[in-house]
Structure 1
Amino acid sequence: MNTEWLNAYVLHRRPYRETSYIVDFFTLEEGKVSAVAKGVKNSKSDKKSLLQPFQQLRLQLSGKSDLKNLRHVESVRPSVSLTGNALFCAMYLNELTNRVMPAELASDGVFYAYTDALTALRDVSDVEATLRQFEFALLDEMGLLPDFTFDVEYELPIVANERYNFQPDAGFIKLPRDYTVIKGIPGEALLALSEGAFTPLSKKVAKVLCRELLKPLIGDKPLKSRELFTQK
Protein backbone atom coordinates (compact mmCIF):
# COMPACT_ATOMS: atom_id res chain seq x y z
CA MET A 1 0.00 0.00 0.00
CA ASN A 2 1.50 3.32 -1.08
CA THR A 3 1.28 5.92 1.69
CA GLU A 4 3.13 8.71 -0.14
CA TRP A 5 1.23 11.98 -0.50
CA LEU A 6 1.39 13.57 -3.95
CA ASN A 7 0.87 17.24 -4.82
CA ALA A 8 -1.49 17.32 -7.78
CA TYR A 9 -3.97 19.07 -10.05
CA VAL A 10 -6.90 17.51 -11.92
CA LEU A 11 -6.36 17.70 -15.67
CA HIS A 12 -9.41 15.76 -16.80
CA ARG A 13 -12.02 13.34 -15.52
CA ARG A 14 -14.44 11.03 -17.31
CA PRO A 15 -17.19 8.62 -16.19
CA TYR A 16 -16.14 5.06 -15.43
CA ARG A 17 -18.77 2.38 -15.07
CA GLU A 18 -21.88 3.48 -13.17
CA THR A 19 -20.52 5.12 -10.05
CA SER A 20 -16.90 6.10 -10.64
CA TYR A 21 -14.56 8.44 -12.51
CA ILE A 22 -11.21 8.00 -14.16
CA VAL A 23 -9.21 11.11 -13.29
CA ASP A 24 -6.03 12.30 -14.98
CA PHE A 25 -3.84 14.01 -12.39
CA PHE A 26 -0.70 16.07 -12.94
CA THR A 27 1.52 15.51 -9.92
CA LEU A 28 4.77 17.08 -8.78
CA GLU A 29 6.32 13.83 -7.66
CA GLU A 30 5.23 11.35 -10.35
CA GLY A 31 4.12 13.44 -13.32
CA LYS A 32 0.88 12.57 -15.08
CA VAL A 33 -1.02 9.73 -13.41
CA SER A 34 -4.50 8.29 -14.02
CA ALA A 35 -6.59 6.84 -11.21
CA VAL A 36 -10.06 5.48 -10.57
CA ALA A 37 -12.13 7.45 -8.05
CA LYS A 38 -14.54 4.74 -6.98
CA GLY A 39 -18.13 5.37 -5.96
CA VAL A 40 -18.08 9.16 -6.17
CA LYS A 41 -19.98 9.89 -9.40
CA ASN A 42 -23.47 10.14 -7.87
CA SER A 43 -22.44 11.03 -4.35
CA LYS A 44 -22.26 14.35 -2.52
CA SER A 45 -18.98 13.46 -0.86
CA ASP A 46 -16.08 15.84 -0.30
CA LYS A 47 -13.98 13.64 -2.56
CA LYS A 48 -16.23 14.33 -5.56
CA SER A 49 -16.24 18.09 -4.92
CA LEU A 50 -12.44 18.12 -4.83
CA LEU A 51 -12.04 16.37 -8.17
CA GLN A 52 -12.35 19.63 -10.08
CA PRO A 53 -9.70 21.44 -12.17
CA PHE A 54 -7.60 24.44 -11.11
CA GLN A 55 -7.30 23.42 -7.45
CA GLN A 56 -4.08 22.17 -5.90
CA LEU A 57 -4.61 18.89 -4.06
CA ARG A 58 -2.79 16.30 -2.02
CA LEU A 59 -3.64 12.70 -2.75
CA GLN A 60 -2.70 9.11 -2.12
CA LEU A 61 -2.86 6.42 -4.78
CA SER A 62 -2.60 2.66 -4.68
CA GLY A 63 -2.02 -0.08 -7.24
CA LYS A 64 0.82 -1.27 -9.44
CA SER A 65 -0.84 -0.96 -12.86
CA ASP A 66 -0.88 2.14 -15.05
CA LEU A 67 -4.40 2.86 -13.78
CA LYS A 68 -4.20 3.51 -10.03
CA ASN A 69 -6.89 3.74 -7.37
CA LEU A 70 -7.55 7.01 -5.58
CA ARG A 71 -7.40 6.34 -1.82
CA HIS A 72 -7.40 9.81 -0.27
CA VAL A 73 -7.62 13.39 -1.54
CA GLU A 74 -7.57 16.73 0.25
CA SER A 75 -7.31 20.37 -0.73
CA VAL A 76 -4.05 22.31 -0.41
CA ARG A 77 -5.62 25.67 -1.28
CA PRO A 78 -8.93 26.91 -2.70
CA SER A 79 -9.66 26.53 -6.39
CA VAL A 80 -8.44 29.36 -8.63
CA SER A 81 -11.52 31.30 -9.70
CA LEU A 82 -11.48 31.96 -13.45
CA THR A 83 -13.99 33.33 -15.94
CA GLY A 84 -14.15 34.31 -19.62
CA ASN A 85 -10.91 34.17 -21.60
CA ALA A 86 -8.92 33.24 -18.51
CA LEU A 87 -11.08 30.13 -18.03
CA PHE A 88 -10.66 29.08 -21.67
CA CYS A 89 -6.90 29.59 -21.34
CA ALA A 90 -6.78 27.42 -18.22
CA MET A 91 -8.71 24.70 -20.03
CA TYR A 92 -6.09 24.93 -22.78
CA LEU A 93 -3.31 24.48 -20.19
CA ASN A 94 -4.99 21.33 -18.90
CA GLU A 95 -5.59 19.85 -22.33
CA LEU A 96 -2.09 20.70 -23.54
CA THR A 97 -0.46 19.20 -20.46
CA ASN A 98 -2.55 16.05 -20.77
CA ARG A 99 -1.71 15.63 -24.45
CA VAL A 100 1.99 16.47 -24.33
CA MET A 101 3.36 15.23 -21.02
CA PRO A 102 4.24 11.51 -21.06
CA ALA A 103 2.76 9.41 -18.28
CA GLU A 104 4.78 9.29 -15.06
CA LEU A 105 7.41 11.80 -16.19
CA ALA A 106 7.95 14.04 -13.17
CA SER A 107 8.91 17.64 -13.95
CA ASP A 108 9.35 20.29 -11.28
CA GLY A 109 9.71 22.93 -14.01
CA VAL A 110 6.42 22.17 -15.75
CA PHE A 111 4.50 21.65 -12.50
CA TYR A 112 5.54 25.01 -11.06
CA ALA A 113 5.07 26.72 -14.44
CA TYR A 114 1.53 25.35 -14.46
CA THR A 115 0.91 26.63 -10.93
CA ASP A 116 2.29 30.07 -11.84
CA ALA A 117 0.18 30.16 -15.01
CA LEU A 118 -3.06 29.55 -13.12
CA THR A 119 -2.25 32.37 -10.71
CA ALA A 120 -1.30 34.69 -13.56
CA LEU A 121 -4.51 33.95 -15.46
CA ARG A 122 -6.44 35.01 -12.38
CA ASP A 123 -4.40 38.13 -11.61
CA VAL A 124 -2.81 39.34 -14.88
CA SER A 125 -4.56 40.66 -17.98
CA ASP A 126 -1.85 39.58 -20.47
CA VAL A 127 -2.99 36.01 -21.11
CA GLU A 128 -0.83 35.72 -24.26
CA ALA A 129 2.39 36.08 -22.28
CA THR A 130 1.11 33.65 -19.65
CA LEU A 131 0.36 30.98 -22.24
CA ARG A 132 3.68 31.41 -24.01
CA GLN A 133 5.64 31.14 -20.76
CA PHE A 134 3.94 27.85 -19.95
CA GLU A 135 4.42 26.53 -23.49
CA PHE A 136 8.11 27.40 -23.25
CA ALA A 137 8.38 25.41 -20.00
CA LEU A 138 6.68 22.45 -21.65
CA LEU A 139 8.90 22.63 -24.75
CA ASP A 140 11.99 22.96 -22.57
CA GLU A 141 11.04 19.76 -20.72
CA MET A 142 10.60 17.99 -24.05
CA GLY A 143 14.01 19.23 -25.22
CA LEU A 144 12.51 21.29 -28.03
CA LEU A 145 12.93 24.87 -26.85
CA PRO A 146 15.39 26.62 -29.18
CA ASP A 147 18.23 28.87 -28.08
CA PHE A 148 16.99 32.41 -28.75
CA THR A 149 20.49 33.88 -28.50
CA PHE A 150 22.46 31.78 -31.00
CA ASP A 151 22.75 31.47 -34.78
CA VAL A 152 23.28 27.73 -35.32
CA GLU A 153 24.73 28.02 -38.83
CA TYR A 154 27.28 30.77 -38.29
CA GLU A 155 27.80 29.94 -34.58
CA LEU A 156 27.40 33.60 -33.67
CA PRO A 157 25.14 35.51 -31.26
CA ILE A 158 21.76 36.66 -32.53
CA VAL A 159 21.91 40.30 -33.65
CA ALA A 160 18.96 42.62 -33.05
CA ASN A 161 18.91 44.24 -36.51
CA GLU A 162 19.25 40.98 -38.47
CA ARG A 163 16.52 38.58 -39.56
CA TYR A 164 16.48 34.83 -39.06
CA ASN A 165 14.91 31.70 -40.44
CA PHE A 166 13.80 29.01 -37.99
CA GLN A 167 14.41 25.31 -38.59
CA PRO A 168 12.65 23.17 -35.92
CA ASP A 169 15.30 20.47 -35.98
CA ALA A 170 18.18 22.94 -35.70
CA GLY A 171 17.42 26.49 -34.58
CA PHE A 172 17.78 30.01 -35.93
CA ILE A 173 19.81 30.82 -39.04
CA LYS A 174 20.58 34.35 -40.22
CA LEU A 175 19.08 35.34 -43.54
CA PRO A 176 21.13 37.25 -46.15
CA ARG A 177 20.44 40.98 -46.02
CA ASP A 178 17.81 41.90 -48.57
CA TYR A 179 15.99 45.16 -47.94
CA THR A 180 13.64 44.71 -50.91
CA VAL A 181 11.78 41.86 -49.21
CA ILE A 182 11.02 41.86 -45.48
CA LYS A 183 10.94 38.28 -44.29
CA GLY A 184 12.19 36.12 -41.47
CA ILE A 185 12.14 36.64 -37.72
CA PRO A 186 13.58 39.90 -36.37
CA GLY A 187 16.58 39.36 -34.12
CA GLU A 188 15.24 41.90 -31.65
CA ALA A 189 12.21 39.68 -31.01
CA LEU A 190 14.41 36.65 -30.34
CA LEU A 191 16.59 38.60 -27.93
CA ALA A 192 13.52 39.87 -26.11
CA LEU A 193 12.25 36.30 -25.70
CA SER A 194 15.64 35.18 -24.41
CA GLU A 195 15.22 37.71 -21.59
CA GLY A 196 11.59 36.79 -20.90
CA ALA A 197 10.34 40.08 -22.35
CA PHE A 198 7.00 39.82 -24.17
CA THR A 199 6.76 42.87 -26.40
CA PRO A 200 4.03 43.10 -29.05
CA LEU A 201 6.56 41.86 -31.62
CA SER A 202 8.06 39.07 -29.51
CA LYS A 203 4.58 37.79 -28.55
CA LYS A 204 3.66 37.39 -32.23
CA VAL A 205 6.91 35.51 -32.89
CA ALA A 206 6.48 33.33 -29.80
CA LYS A 207 2.95 32.33 -30.80
CA VAL A 208 4.04 31.21 -34.27
CA LEU A 209 7.05 29.32 -32.90
CA CYS A 210 5.04 27.55 -30.19
CA ARG A 211 2.37 26.46 -32.67
CA GLU A 212 5.05 24.98 -34.94
CA LEU A 213 6.99 23.25 -32.16
CA LEU A 214 3.97 21.86 -30.33
CA LYS A 215 2.22 20.51 -33.43
CA PRO A 216 4.11 17.17 -33.59
CA LEU A 217 3.60 16.69 -29.84
CA ILE A 218 -0.14 17.39 -29.97
CA GLY A 219 -0.82 15.31 -33.08
CA ASP A 220 -3.56 15.68 -35.67
CA LYS A 221 -6.52 15.61 -33.28
CA PRO A 222 -7.68 19.22 -32.71
CA LEU A 223 -7.59 20.64 -29.20
CA LYS A 224 -11.12 21.10 -27.87
CA SER A 225 -10.07 24.20 -25.93
CA ARG A 226 -8.97 25.91 -29.16
CA GLU A 227 -12.37 25.12 -30.66
CA LEU A 228 -14.00 26.90 -27.72
CA PHE A 229 -11.98 30.04 -28.54
CA THR A 230 -13.13 29.82 -32.16
CA GLN A 231 -16.77 29.45 -31.15
CA LYS A 232 -16.48 32.39 -28.78
Structure 2
Amino acid sequence: MKAASWQHTYVLHRRPYRETSYLIDLFTRESGKMSVVAKGVRNSKGDKKSLLQPFQQIRIQVSGKSELKNLTQTESFLAAVPLAGQALFCGMYVNELLNRVMPVGLASDSLFATYTETLSQLASGDDIELPLRQFEFAILDEMGQLGEFTQCGNDGEPVAAEGMYGWGQEEGIVPVKPGPAARGIPGFALLSLAAGEWTPAAKKAAKIINREALKPLLGSKPLKSRELFMPKHSVAKP
Protein backbone atom coordinates (compact mmCIF):
# COMPACT_ATOMS: atom_id res chain seq x y z
CA MET A 1 0.00 0.00 0.00
CA LYS A 2 1.34 3.41 -0.95
CA ALA A 3 2.22 5.56 2.06
CA ALA A 4 0.19 8.76 2.49
CA SER A 5 2.12 11.91 1.61
CA TRP A 6 2.54 14.91 3.91
CA GLN A 7 0.94 18.19 2.86
CA HIS A 8 1.74 21.71 4.08
CA THR A 9 -1.42 23.53 5.04
CA TYR A 10 -3.23 26.29 6.88
CA VAL A 11 -6.64 26.08 8.55
CA LEU A 12 -9.05 28.53 6.91
CA HIS A 13 -12.15 27.67 8.93
CA ARG A 14 -13.37 24.98 11.28
CA ARG A 15 -16.80 24.18 12.65
CA PRO A 16 -18.34 21.45 14.83
CA TYR A 17 -19.26 18.24 13.04
CA ARG A 18 -21.49 15.70 14.71
CA GLU A 19 -20.77 15.17 18.40
CA THR A 20 -17.01 14.86 18.65
CA SER A 21 -15.49 16.02 15.37
CA TYR A 22 -14.63 19.12 13.33
CA LEU A 23 -15.26 19.88 9.69
CA ILE A 24 -12.24 21.91 8.56
CA ASP A 25 -11.52 23.92 5.41
CA LEU A 26 -7.81 23.86 4.56
CA PHE A 27 -5.51 25.59 2.10
CA THR A 28 -2.70 23.22 1.17
CA ARG A 29 0.38 23.89 -0.92
CA GLU A 30 0.22 20.53 -2.65
CA SER A 31 -3.53 20.12 -3.28
CA GLY A 32 -5.05 23.58 -3.02
CA LYS A 33 -8.22 23.99 -0.99
CA MET A 34 -9.79 20.93 0.60
CA SER A 35 -12.22 20.00 3.36
CA VAL A 36 -11.47 17.32 5.93
CA VAL A 37 -13.13 15.68 8.91
CA ALA A 38 -11.04 15.66 12.09
CA LYS A 39 -12.68 12.84 14.02
CA GLY A 40 -12.89 12.74 17.79
CA VAL A 41 -10.87 15.88 18.54
CA ARG A 42 -13.53 18.38 19.70
CA ASN A 43 -13.40 17.31 23.33
CA SER A 44 -9.72 16.38 23.25
CA LYS A 45 -6.94 18.26 25.04
CA GLY A 46 -4.22 16.82 22.83
CA ASP A 47 -1.84 18.46 20.40
CA LYS A 48 -4.00 17.64 17.37
CA LYS A 49 -6.81 19.96 18.47
CA SER A 50 -4.44 22.80 19.39
CA LEU A 51 -2.75 22.62 15.98
CA LEU A 52 -6.02 22.88 14.07
CA GLN A 53 -6.19 26.66 14.42
CA PRO A 54 -5.93 29.41 11.78
CA PHE A 55 -2.67 31.25 11.01
CA GLN A 56 -0.32 28.35 11.75
CA GLN A 57 1.34 26.29 9.04
CA ILE A 58 1.11 22.59 9.81
CA ARG A 59 1.69 19.34 7.98
CA ILE A 60 -1.08 16.80 7.54
CA GLN A 61 -1.91 13.45 6.03
CA VAL A 62 -5.39 12.61 4.78
CA SER A 63 -7.22 9.55 3.53
CA GLY A 64 -10.33 8.87 1.48
CA LYS A 65 -11.37 8.94 -2.17
CA SER A 66 -14.27 11.40 -1.89
CA GLU A 67 -13.95 15.19 -1.95
CA LEU A 68 -14.37 15.26 1.85
CA LYS A 69 -11.23 13.63 3.26
CA ASN A 70 -10.45 12.18 6.68
CA LEU A 71 -7.62 13.84 8.61
CA THR A 72 -5.28 11.10 9.82
CA GLN A 73 -2.05 12.83 10.89
CA THR A 74 -1.15 16.35 12.03
CA GLU A 75 2.15 17.88 13.06
CA SER A 76 3.53 21.38 13.62
CA PHE A 77 5.66 22.93 10.88
CA LEU A 78 5.90 26.68 11.61
CA ALA A 79 5.00 28.63 14.72
CA ALA A 80 1.60 30.29 14.78
CA VAL A 81 1.55 33.86 13.47
CA PRO A 82 0.49 36.18 16.35
CA LEU A 83 -2.38 38.30 15.06
CA ALA A 84 -4.42 40.56 17.33
CA GLY A 85 -6.84 43.46 17.02
CA GLN A 86 -7.08 44.94 13.55
CA ALA A 87 -4.49 42.50 12.17
CA LEU A 88 -6.61 39.57 13.38
CA PHE A 89 -9.67 40.93 11.60
CA CYS A 90 -7.61 41.33 8.43
CA GLY A 91 -6.37 37.76 8.75
CA MET A 92 -9.94 36.53 9.08
CA TYR A 93 -10.84 38.50 5.95
CA VAL A 94 -7.96 36.93 4.00
CA ASN A 95 -9.04 33.45 5.13
CA GLU A 96 -12.67 34.00 4.20
CA LEU A 97 -11.74 35.51 0.84
CA LEU A 98 -9.51 32.56 0.01
CA ASN A 99 -12.12 30.07 1.16
CA ARG A 100 -14.86 31.69 -0.90
CA VAL A 101 -12.96 32.38 -4.12
CA MET A 102 -10.54 29.48 -4.61
CA PRO A 103 -12.04 26.35 -6.17
CA VAL A 104 -11.40 23.01 -4.52
CA GLY A 105 -8.26 21.24 -5.72
CA LEU A 106 -6.54 24.16 -7.47
CA ALA A 107 -2.97 24.06 -6.16
CA SER A 108 -0.75 27.15 -6.37
CA ASP A 109 2.75 27.37 -4.92
CA SER A 110 2.86 31.13 -5.58
CA LEU A 111 -0.46 31.88 -3.86
CA PHE A 112 0.51 29.68 -0.91
CA ALA A 113 3.75 31.63 -0.56
CA THR A 114 1.89 34.95 -0.87
CA TYR A 115 -0.58 33.88 1.81
CA THR A 116 2.28 32.96 4.15
CA GLU A 117 3.94 36.34 3.52
CA THR A 118 0.64 38.18 3.99
CA LEU A 119 0.22 36.75 7.49
CA SER A 120 3.78 37.79 8.36
CA GLN A 121 3.19 41.33 7.10
CA LEU A 122 -0.08 41.63 9.02
CA ALA A 123 1.69 40.56 12.19
CA SER A 124 4.41 43.20 11.71
CA GLY A 125 1.78 45.94 11.70
CA ASP A 126 3.87 48.30 9.59
CA ASP A 127 1.21 48.89 6.93
CA ILE A 128 -1.89 46.81 7.49
CA GLU A 129 -3.59 47.82 4.23
CA LEU A 130 -0.79 47.02 1.79
CA PRO A 131 -0.71 43.23 2.36
CA LEU A 132 -4.48 43.10 1.89
CA ARG A 133 -4.34 44.80 -1.50
CA GLN A 134 -1.39 42.67 -2.59
CA PHE A 135 -3.13 39.45 -1.56
CA GLU A 136 -6.29 40.48 -3.40
CA PHE A 137 -4.18 41.09 -6.50
CA ALA A 138 -2.55 37.67 -6.08
CA ILE A 139 -5.84 35.80 -5.85
CA LEU A 140 -7.33 37.75 -8.78
CA ASP A 141 -4.24 36.95 -10.81
CA GLU A 142 -4.55 33.26 -9.91
CA MET A 143 -8.16 33.30 -11.10
CA GLY A 144 -7.26 35.12 -14.33
CA GLN A 145 -9.14 38.26 -13.31
CA LEU A 146 -6.33 40.77 -12.75
CA GLY A 147 -6.59 43.43 -15.40
CA GLU A 148 -4.09 45.62 -17.22
CA PHE A 149 -3.53 49.04 -15.63
CA THR A 150 -1.72 50.85 -18.43
CA GLN A 151 -4.35 50.60 -21.15
CA CYS A 152 -8.13 50.56 -21.47
CA GLY A 153 -9.77 47.21 -21.97
CA ASN A 154 -12.51 48.50 -24.28
CA ASP A 155 -10.41 50.25 -26.94
CA GLY A 156 -6.74 49.57 -26.10
CA GLU A 157 -5.98 53.26 -25.58
CA PRO A 158 -3.14 53.95 -23.14
CA VAL A 159 -4.04 55.24 -19.68
CA ALA A 160 -3.22 58.93 -19.36
CA ALA A 161 -1.97 60.32 -16.06
CA GLU A 162 -4.44 63.21 -16.26
CA GLY A 163 -7.40 60.99 -17.21
CA MET A 164 -10.17 59.52 -15.07
CA TYR A 165 -11.15 55.85 -15.24
CA GLY A 166 -13.52 53.22 -13.93
CA TRP A 167 -13.65 49.42 -13.82
CA GLY A 168 -15.89 47.24 -15.97
CA GLN A 169 -16.44 43.57 -15.18
CA GLU A 170 -15.81 42.54 -18.77
CA GLU A 171 -13.51 45.31 -20.02
CA GLY A 172 -11.32 46.09 -17.01
CA ILE A 173 -10.09 49.69 -17.07
CA VAL A 174 -12.47 52.01 -18.96
CA PRO A 175 -12.37 55.80 -19.39
CA VAL A 176 -14.86 57.98 -17.55
CA LYS A 177 -16.37 60.79 -19.57
CA PRO A 178 -14.92 64.14 -18.46
CA GLY A 179 -17.14 66.66 -16.75
CA PRO A 180 -17.55 68.65 -13.54
CA ALA A 181 -19.24 65.70 -11.80
CA ALA A 182 -16.91 63.01 -13.14
CA ARG A 183 -15.69 60.60 -10.48
CA GLY A 184 -13.43 57.61 -10.80
CA ILE A 185 -9.85 56.43 -10.53
CA PRO A 186 -7.12 58.94 -11.51
CA GLY A 187 -4.88 57.79 -14.32
CA PHE A 188 -1.74 58.62 -12.34
CA ALA A 189 -2.88 56.18 -9.62
CA LEU A 190 -3.27 53.38 -12.17
CA LEU A 191 0.17 54.08 -13.59
CA SER A 192 1.64 53.94 -10.08
CA LEU A 193 0.02 50.53 -9.58
CA ALA A 194 1.46 49.30 -12.87
CA ALA A 195 4.91 50.43 -11.73
CA GLY A 196 4.54 48.75 -8.33
CA GLU A 197 4.53 52.09 -6.53
CA TRP A 198 2.09 51.85 -3.61
CA THR A 199 1.30 55.51 -3.12
CA PRO A 200 -1.81 56.49 -1.11
CA ALA A 201 -3.66 57.13 -4.39
CA ALA A 202 -2.54 53.74 -5.74
CA LYS A 203 -3.80 51.95 -2.62
CA LYS A 204 -7.17 53.67 -2.94
CA ALA A 205 -7.35 52.73 -6.62
CA ALA A 206 -6.47 49.11 -5.82
CA LYS A 207 -9.22 48.94 -3.22
CA ILE A 208 -11.83 50.19 -5.71
CA ILE A 209 -10.64 47.83 -8.46
CA ASN A 210 -10.39 44.78 -6.22
CA ARG A 211 -13.85 45.24 -4.74
CA GLU A 212 -15.38 45.35 -8.20
CA ALA A 213 -13.23 42.56 -9.64
CA LEU A 214 -14.00 40.24 -6.72
CA LYS A 215 -17.78 40.71 -6.88
CA PRO A 216 -18.47 38.06 -9.55
CA LEU A 217 -16.19 35.60 -7.74
CA LEU A 218 -17.85 36.15 -4.36
CA GLY A 219 -21.46 36.23 -5.54
CA SER A 220 -24.26 37.92 -3.62
CA LYS A 221 -23.42 36.55 -0.16
CA PRO A 222 -21.59 39.25 1.86
CA LEU A 223 -18.30 38.52 3.58
CA LYS A 224 -18.87 38.01 7.30
CA SER A 225 -15.36 39.24 8.16
CA ARG A 226 -16.17 42.72 6.83
CA GLU A 227 -18.73 43.10 9.63
CA LEU A 228 -15.89 43.10 12.15
CA PHE A 229 -14.53 46.43 10.92
CA MET A 230 -15.86 49.53 12.67
CA PRO A 231 -16.22 52.88 10.83
CA LYS A 232 -13.27 54.36 12.74
CA HIS A 233 -11.06 51.73 11.07
CA SER A 234 -12.32 52.44 7.57
CA VAL A 235 -8.81 53.10 6.24
CA ALA A 236 -7.89 49.42 6.57
CA LYS A 237 -11.37 48.00 5.95
CA PRO A 238 -11.19 45.44 3.12
TM-score of Structure 1 vs Structure 2, range by shorter chain? over 0.9
1:212 match: 212
Alpha-carbon separation, structure 2, partners of 1:15 and 1:60: 20
What RMSD in Å do the two structures reach over aligned CA positions? 1.7
Letter in 1 for 2:199: T
**Structure 1 residues 13-92: aligned runs within 5 Å:** 13-92=14-93
1:192 equivalenced with 2:192 (yes/no): yes
Partner of 2:119: 118
Provide the rounded CA distance (Å) in 1 between the counterparts of 2:212 and 2:167: 10
The 10-residue stretch of structure 1 (101-110 or 40-49) with the greater mean CA deviation from structure 2: 101-110
- How far did residue 10 of structure 1 move? 0.2
- CA deviation digits over 1:3-58, x for unaligned, max 9? 11111000011111111111111001100011111111101111001000000011
State, as a whole percentage, how many aligned pairs show the same letter: 56
Matched to 1:118, the amino acid is L
5+ residue gaps in structure 1? none
* Partner AA of 2:187 in structure 1: G
TM-score (norm 2): 0.91
In 1, distance between residues paired with 2:176 and 2:16?
A: 53
State whether residues 82 and 122 of structure 1, in contact with CA within 8 Å, keep that contact through their aligned partners in structure 2.
Answer: yes
Letter in 1 for 2:104: A
Residue deviations 1:87-141 (CA, integer Å, cap 9, x gap): 0000001111111111111112221111111000011331111111000111111
8 A Cα contact 1:31 1:103, kept in partner: yes
Q: SS of 1:157's equivalent?
A: coil
SS at match of 2:229: helix
- Return the offset for 1:155: 2.3
What TM-score comes out, normalization by structure 1 length?
Answer: 0.93
Q: How many residues align?
A: 231
Q: What residue is the counterpart of 2:133 in the other structure?
A: 132
**How far apart are residue 195 of structure 1 and its match?**
2.3
What corresponds to 1:10 in structure 2?
Answer: 11
Q: Which runs of 5+ in 2 are unaligned?
A: 234-238
Q: Is the 8 A contact 1:164 1:187 kept in 2?
A: yes
